[in-house]
Chain A
């Protein structure tokens, strides 16, 4: 039972490069989320998806693109990485009506943009 996985776990890239962070969940949860975690800010929602082919912006979507062609995958792309996007990125999933509707988190991806 893998749950929710993220890859890569660590990534170093340069300003201006395109980077894609992968997220895969095995629970068939309808909802998936991308957050970034920065010191002093806790976690902030970047994008979320209610189902395959349905995505919407969160609190801090600028500079990011998402897609969701399959229920189990929710990749996050930084089209032209900037230093301000250096952060730890968490993917999460949830299912409305399941338990407390809590979100289950992946292990995180630490991204450094030089």
Chain B
């Protein structure tokens, strides 16, 4: 079974609008961490936001917020006020427990921001 599922291969959003990128995960470990990374066309992976399994509040980092629904095992990324520079691939990832060898990435969502 897939550990991380991103069901949106590609998405479009109008500049200045908000967009939600979906991510569901699968684990039986009560301790885990969820990450979102951005990969622009230049190729580097940029860490955006983190949510721990025991965190009570949804994580926020500037225009990024993580909609964490533990019972549904979802960790959607919300980007508010989209900018042209947000056009990129976005990857959801999970670390199971505190094992660095159990770090799984989804297949990614390509976001295109339209002017």
Which residues of A are at the interface with B, using a C-beta cutoff of 8 A?
A: 31, 33, 35, 40-45, 48, 50, 56-59, 88, 90, 92, 94, 96, 100-108
Within 8 A of A (CB), among B17-34: 33
Q: Check if A48 sits within 8 Å of B107, measured CB to CB.
A: no
**In the assembled complex, which residues on chain A have CB atoms less than 8 Å from the CB atom of B107?**
40-42
Docked pose: A94 CA to B98 CA in angstroms: 12
Q: Check if B45 sits within 8 Å of A105, measured CB to CB.
A: yes
Docked pose: A44 CA to B104 CA in angstroms: 7
Q: Check if A103 sits within 8 Å of B43, measured CB to CB.
A: no
**In the assembled complex, which residues on chain B have CB atoms less than 8 Å from the CB atom of A105?**
37, 44-45
Mostly, the B contact residues are strand
Docked pose: A25 CA to B93 CA in angstroms: 22
* CB-contact partner of B4 in A42, A48, A58, under 8 A: A42
* CB-contact partner of B108 in A42, A103, A108, under 8 A: A42
Q: With A43-B91, A105-B45 in contact, do A100 and B50 touch (Cβ < 8 Å)? A: yes
Closest Cβ of chain B to A46, distance in Å, is: 11
Tell me if B68 is interfacial: C-beta within 8 Å of chain A: no
Q: Check if A102 sits within 8 Å of B105, measured CB to CB.
A: no
Within 8 A of A (CB), among B83-102: 91, 93, 95, 98, 100-101
Docked pose: A1 CA to B4 CA in angstroms: 33
